[in-house]
Amino acid sequence: MITLIAGTNRPQSRARRIALLYASLLAELGEETQLLDLAELPADFITTALYDNAGCHPAYNRLAGLLDAGNKLVIIIPEYNGSFPGVLKAFIDGLPYPGGIRGKKAALVGLSSGGQGGLLAMTHFTDILMYLGTAVLPQRVRLPFIDKDLSAVGELNNVFSVGLLREQAVALLAF
């Protein structure tokens, strides 16, 4: 089982659409997936599920519990202001430490409206994953100009980008 994380809490985000597309690629390869969409986080989780309240919020715990299903992750990271979304960091901060995602393997997909394709976001997030003991697949996929390349229903019209995602999915299965 591979958990795909849509790394923003924006409803119906592009990250979610890419995660669903990635799930279909993994299904073609015979792999089971599940979606962990940060849009499902409770709005108040920063005060009701973290620190002294760790383990006390059922909705947060349900999402965090999805990480227990397997040892591989695909994290779709949109670039927000030159880095990754703060909600992704807050979600990670709420996971048990040093457990949570320690020992897991992760593939990263960055996306942005500009030409960098989430490179800065993936670089910043890679540092955090490595600190937490999560192995990161060196083959990271950047999806630049996502506004132009992704339809409202989740179709990626850039054949090259779809090929990169498929190659990464194959590499993740072997990782």
Question: How many domains in the chain?
Answer: 1
Domain residue limits at 78: 2-174
State the pTM of this model. Answer: 0.96
Largest interatomic CA distance in the chain: 47
User: What's residue 154's pLDDT?
Assistant: 84
The reported pLDDT for the residue numbered 93 is 93
Mean pLDDT, consecutive 10-residue segments, the chain of 175 residues? 97 96 98 98 92 89 94 97 96 89 97 95 97 97 95 90 97 98
pLDDT of residue 53: 86
Unique residue bearing structure tokens 């973290």? 50
Look up the CATH number of the domain holding residue 118: 3.40.50.360
Question: What was the pLDDT predicted at 45?
Answer: 93
The predicted pLDDT at position 5 comes to 98
